[in-house]
Structure 1
Amino acid sequence: MSDYKLGLDYAKAQDNLDELSAYKQQFHIPKDANGKALIYLCGNSLGLQPKSTKAYINQELEDWANLGVEGHTDAKNPWLPYHEFLTEATAKLVGAKPIEVVTMNSLTANLHFMMASFYKPTKERYKILIESDAFPSDKYAVESQLRHHGFNDKDGLILWSPREGEELLRNEDLEAILKEHGSEIALIMVGGVNYYTGQFLDFKRITMLGHQHGCKVGFDCAHGAGNVDLDLHNSGADFAVWCTYKYMNSGPGSLSGCFVHERHAYNKDLNRFTGWWSHNKDTRFNMRHEFDVLPGAEGWQLSNPPILSMAAIRASLDIFNEVGLEKLIKKSKKLTGYFEFLLKDLGEDTIRIITPENPEERGCQLSIQVLNADKALHDKLTEAGVISDWREPDVIRCAPTPLYNSYEDVYNMVEQLKALL
């Protein structure tokens, strides 16, 4: 784009103009052995720690130390309803209504819980459609669901693949698959933002197509939550799941989020796995009541919330809530566009970006292929102080995250790459 300019002065000027630049100071930036800050472009794998996280977790440790079991009701942030403290900010972040979201479990566990309810195979309609290059855990999960229901996991899987010589998925190819196999497909379950290419799929169109053919539709938003405008309620999707440790900066292995569309909120007949936290709050502790499911996404919970993990999520969500998704996405598009501009200046005979060029079809991740390069190049980048992410066979994934990355970070990363090339 002609708006961008080369040179360090331009990067510094953009940082001075950036209304979100101060947020970088609110995060711990990893340093090298000499104490120099690394260029961290790996928020798509693990987000950085907000400096406020420690205080949020310490509050719960204090209350546990001082109150013991009474902390469930008497802690500063009582533990019994703790997951509810995350609901509103989570709903805002993923474009949902509060009744549609809950924070619980880990991502693949949530995917299985959702499939227990929304994958209802019959002899005629039992197949599951996923993208051909889905994140491995998604593929393993759907294959195991097919086996669990007594189907062959190879026959039962339909792959939506890019065309020969292309990396990106086309909607018209999905339309063609559904035209041919729609009556056999029980569930469409795709990654909302592809982990490898960074392609952000059209949720609304996919859902509409799936529903037209009688399929249930769900999305894995691991690379989307906190990165793009998911607009889950308006997408019409039946369900979605995501992790909180990537763009949502909640710490390694932290809890997952879950969306169940409002139209399913009061359907008590939906098959589901249950536990005491999906039971009516008013009678939950009267242990002898028959099961009475909660409405909305909360009705899929099993157990009482792990408070320390939720405290870390809350710390991060408070920052997102303060900034607002709109401002983040505005900066994200500009910062990623600048990154793309600098990479293209290295020469398209050297660098190939496989992420979509259209800013509406991607988040902040750019997946880069370097001509004749292998993992050694990525290793040298790491030694030069750039933390990015290698994915076989030949892609370096970089995510200039708008909350804590600067224009200068992006400029310096490309300079290091240039030096290595």
Structure 2
Amino acid sequence: MGRKHRGGMTKARVSRIGSFAIASSVKDATSISCTTFNILAPIYKRLNNKDQSCRESDYRANWLNRNHRILDWLLNERSSIICLQEFWVGNEELVNIYNKRLGDAGYINFKLARTNNRGDGLLTSVHKDYFRVVNHQELLFNDFGNRVAQLLHVELVAPFLQCRNNNVRQEVLIVNTHLLFPHDSSLCLERLRQVYKILQCVESYQKENQLNPLPIILCGDWNGSKRGHVYKFLRSQGFVSSYDTAHQYTDADAHKWVSHRNHRGNICGVDFIWLLNPNRYRKLLKTSWSQAVFGMFKYQLRQASLTENDAFAFLKADSHGDYITYSAFCEALRQLHLIGHPYGLSVEETKDLWVQTDIDGNGVLDYKEFQQRIWNPTWSEQRDEISHEVWKDDVHGTEQTIGFGVKNAVLFPTEVEKGMWPEDYSLSDHARLTVVFSPVRMPCSRLMA
């Protein structure tokens, strides 16, 4: 493309031409693109609302036609990275079709089934014109919901070869996952724990391979909105929602787009491509986890109209002093259903929370510790300041690495970008999200203490 496109397109331009903007950006030799799409496994697709047992998987012509249409869209868009959820790994014919059509188009494919033979799973494909696969790991949680995740460590290749420099790493970590559906409030903590495990695995991989900070792209069906605890948790780790960044949406703009109509008939925005750039300062992972759990704790107390003083009194319970004991702390967690059931905090997790909260280590929590660790913890709300400029060769100073600016992002069908779900859309019960990234050079960051 010409030089005038390198700086990215304006928001109005993106909205006006929709998918065509993505198609044009994909052809730009200075960009890479990523698509995430829950393609609705035929074993889950209901064909008759009155007969819940009537599924698309029983009608070969139906699922064959729909999946060929999905592949037509994917191959027409030709994203550098494709992350699919609810891929029907249990059907060999379907798996072979995806392997053949994507393979013929130049993709390297990795599939992963959910545990306990659930039938569906994940498919992650990267195009060999853009990436060399350094490593691939499968993350099996073996917990409630039989959830899994894929981690790909890739290196950028042509057309970025002309930008190659011995002092600049050109590697990326890609994660594809599908979180548990929040069937009831007791599962909120389990969903948060699933994300925590993913980030722990990513962090462990980086340490084991002695990797300095790399850009991380998290794709998938998160089964939670911008209003949820998972969203806040990822934000505290420095991740940004690529779609919201492209459209300059804030947290207050959650109603402006949707990406899913669930089995209850509700429309919601749950599909995200998260980006963490290597120059983002972020909290220690355990700190973010603790604050996320206390965020759930605080949310429930506020729902009950408890003020800060009320909350301290609730935690203090029958303590004779002006402090909170460990037993009272546990009882409060039990009353708020954060412990005492199969998906609640374990004894080890509960003790770890207590240790982090008891700042002076004297075995009780005073009001100041309650404020600093539970009621008013400091969240990292730094904005992503990465510009849309392309790489420059005159980089000086600290150690450099590759990062990404969000150049463009589009949801299809386009109606969902206005918060509406089209009745005539039949490819899936999810929208397809594609984001275009522009590589930029940037210094590495360090974790916050």
TM-score range, shorter chain: under 0.3
Structure 1 or 2: more strand by fraction = 2
Structure with larger RCO (C-alpha < 8 A, sep 6+): 1
Structure 1 or 2: more helix by fraction = 1
Q: TM-score normalised to the size of structure 1?
A: 0.26
